């Protein structure tokens, strides 16, 4: 099929490249000329393992352009994969989605299917279809379908090529058959439903996972108070197939482009209909508070961080990505700087993005050893494998005062017993020097 993709972020670019991998002719559209030049040279503008390799492999079937008119004009399927950023009130900003819809209506010359891949509030697909049909040339049949994404940053290519499910929301069988044909070579079950149900599947799925994380973090906080160990607790929980062992890792909260935005968007939507989702509201509150757990723990050791040498390991919201959106580092580092801390920070791929916000007052290091050297306390915000490989002796030998606050439970507490290192984590008992 001939396919156009509007937007080359995580969703749009990964979708386009994976469709090309399955033999479709794909044109990716973006307004950023520099991104287009990068992609044309085979370089991905986002960090995503395996993506560049597929871009190069399928370059004969992939085009990149800022010319949306040529891209949309002859396409059988047009994906809308642009951003839906969070507004101040928590609702989703749909201006980019509607702008693409207007462009499609303006230029399209043949019947086609428009697929909304962006995460959008329930009912948005209906509005997109109405907008297009009200402005398209007379006689053309444009059908809009919802096809939410379920990819995770760091594993996006795998999540797309071998998805847990493909959800297609449509109001007619013709559209369903076109999209089933498009996805026929993908290794995933396909669910056909109406558009509003498809839109809700996305929010309900992400928000359930956010709930699970927040619940485990609440249990972890209580474990610290009563002397239990969250690792043992979650292992016991995970044996129950009704609960499962995924998303049971305690830590300093979820981040990224999906969970924070999607929980707030669904909470806002419920309030719009005079309905309160109490569980979602609680998850949001728990997650916001959880981000400050390490700072609170650190106050036991230093009332003020004035001239205290601080090591920060990990800046991104999770390993395998350079994305900083809603990362705990973004709320903790400013507090430390404001309190006078001297910070050295390390991250294998997130430093350049962090420098765009904080270029001064932080020493960025190329390796963990330089980051830890002569510091008085260490904060672990991201569970990179390089961090997990550290031993208690590394902290003891490199740091001036080996106090380690682990926000991702990278190590077993037993490793730090008799290590002469103070080690605190989430939901487990502290090990004091």
CA distance 168 to 149: 10
Q: Is the pLDDT of residue 360 over 90?
A: no
Strands (DSSP E) found in 236-388 = 309-313, 342-346, 362-364, 377-380
Q: What is the pLDDT of residue 97?
A: 97
Q: Is the pLDDT of residue 276 over 90?
A: yes
Task: Express each pLDDT in 408-432 by its tens digit.
Answer: 999 999 999 999 999 999 999 999 9
Annotated catalytic residues are 258
| Contact (CB, 8 A) for 377 and 406 | no
Q: Is the pLDDT of residue 202 over 90?
A: yes
Task: Express each pLDDT in 148-187 by its tens digit.
Answer: 999 998 899 999 999 999 999 999 999 999 999 999 999 8
- Categorize the per-residue pLDDT at 361 as very low, low, confident or very high, splitting at 50, 70 and 90: confident
Q: What is the pLDDT of residue 90?
A: 87
Q: What is the pLDDT of residue 121?
A: 94
Q: What is the pLDDT of residue 153?
A: 87
Q: What is the pLDDT of residue 104?
A: 97
- Categorize the per-residue pLDDT at 347 as very low, low, confident or very high, splitting at 50, 70 and 90: very high
Task: Express each pLDDT in 10-30 by its tens digit.
Answer: 999 999 999 999 999 999 999
Q: What is the pLDDT of residue 403?
A: 98
CA distance 282 to 277: 9
* Beta strands at 25-29 and 62-65: parallel, antiparallel or unpaired: parallel
CA angle 290, 366, 318 (to 5 degrees): 30
Q: What is the pLDDT of residue 54?
A: 97
Closest CA to 407 of 353, 331, 354, 338: 331
Task: Express each pLDDT in 238-256 by its tens digit.
Answer: 999 999 999 999 999 999 8
Average pLDDT of the residues of the chain? 96
The residues near 335 (Cβ < 8 Å, ≥ 6 apart) are 292, 295
> CB count, 10 Å around CB of 244?
12
Q: What is the pLDDT of residue 433?
A: 84
| Contact (CB, 8 A) for 407 and 426 | yes
> CB count, 10 Å around CB of 133?
14
Q: What is the pLDDT of residue 359?
A: 82
- Categorize the per-residue pLDDT at 110 as very low, low, confident or very high, splitting at 50, 70 and 90: very high
- Categorize the per-residue pLDDT at 77 as very low, low, confident or very high, splitting at 50, 70 and 90: very high
Q: What is the pLDDT of residue 73?
A: 93
Q: What is the pLDDT of residue 88?
A: 87
Q: What is the pLDDT of residue 408?
A: 98
Strand order in the sheet with 342-346: 362-364, 342-346, 309-313, 377-380, 403-406, 422-424
- Categorize the per-residue pLDDT at 228 as very low, low, confident or very high, splitting at 50, 70 and 90: very high
* pTM of the predicted structure, to 2 decimals: 0.92
Closest CA to 426 of 297, 333, 299: 297
Q: Is the pLDDT of residue 207 over 90?
A: yes
């Amino acid at each position: 099929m001939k396919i156009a993709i509007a937007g080359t972020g995580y969703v749009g670019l990964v979708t386009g490249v994976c469709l090309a991998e399955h033999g479709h002719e794909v044109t990716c559209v973006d307004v950023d000329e520099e991104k287009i030049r990068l992609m044309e040279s085979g370089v991905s503008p986002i960090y995503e393992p395996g993506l560049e390799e597929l871009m190069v492999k399928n370059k004969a079937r992939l085009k990149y352009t800022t010319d949306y008119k040529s891209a949309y004009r002859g396409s059988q399927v047009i994906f809308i994969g642009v951003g839906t950023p969070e507004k101040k009130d928590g609702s989703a900003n749909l201006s980019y989605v509607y702008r693409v819809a207007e462009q499609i209506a303006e230029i399209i010359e043949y019947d086609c299917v428009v697929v909304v891949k962006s995460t959008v509030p329930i009912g948005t697909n209906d509005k997109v279809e109405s907008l297009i049909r009200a402005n398209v040339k007379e006689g053309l049949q444009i059908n809009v379908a919802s096809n939410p994404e379920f990819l995770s940053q760091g594993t996006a290519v795998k999540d797309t090529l071998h998805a847990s499910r493909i959800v297609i929301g449509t109001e007619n069988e013709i559209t369903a058959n076109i999209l089933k044909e498009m996805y026929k070579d993908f290794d995933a079950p396909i669910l056909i439903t109406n558009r509003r149900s498809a839109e809700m599947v996305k929010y309900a799925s992400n928000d359930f996972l956010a709930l699970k994380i927040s619940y485990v973090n609440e249990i972890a906080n209580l474990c610290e108070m009563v002397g239990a160990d969250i690792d043992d607790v979650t292992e016991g929980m995970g044996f129950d197939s009704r609960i499962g062992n995924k998303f049971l890792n305690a830590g300093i909260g979820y981040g990224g482009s999906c969970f924070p935005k999607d929980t707030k968007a669904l909470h806002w939507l419920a309030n719009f209909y005079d309905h309160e989702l109490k569980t979602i509201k609680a998850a949001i509150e728990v997650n916001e508070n959880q981000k400050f757990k390490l700072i609170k723990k650190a106050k036991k050791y230093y009332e003020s961080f004035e001239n205290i040498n601080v090591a920060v390991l990990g800046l991104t919201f999770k390993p395998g990505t350079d994305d900083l959106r809603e990362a705990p580092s973004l709320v903790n580092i400013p507090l430390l700087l404001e309190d006078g801390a001297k910070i050295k920070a390390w991250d294998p791929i997130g430093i350049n993005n962090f420098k765009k916000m904080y270029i001064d007052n932080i020493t960025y290091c190329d390796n963990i050893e330089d980051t830890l050297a002569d510091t008085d306390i260490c904060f672990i915000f991201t569970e990179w494998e390089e961090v997990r490989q550290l031993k208690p002796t590394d902290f003891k030998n490199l740091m001036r005062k080996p106090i380690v606050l682990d926000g991702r439970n990278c190590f077993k507490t037993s490793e730090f017993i008799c290590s002469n290192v103070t080690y605190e984590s989430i939901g487990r008992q502290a090990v004091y020097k």
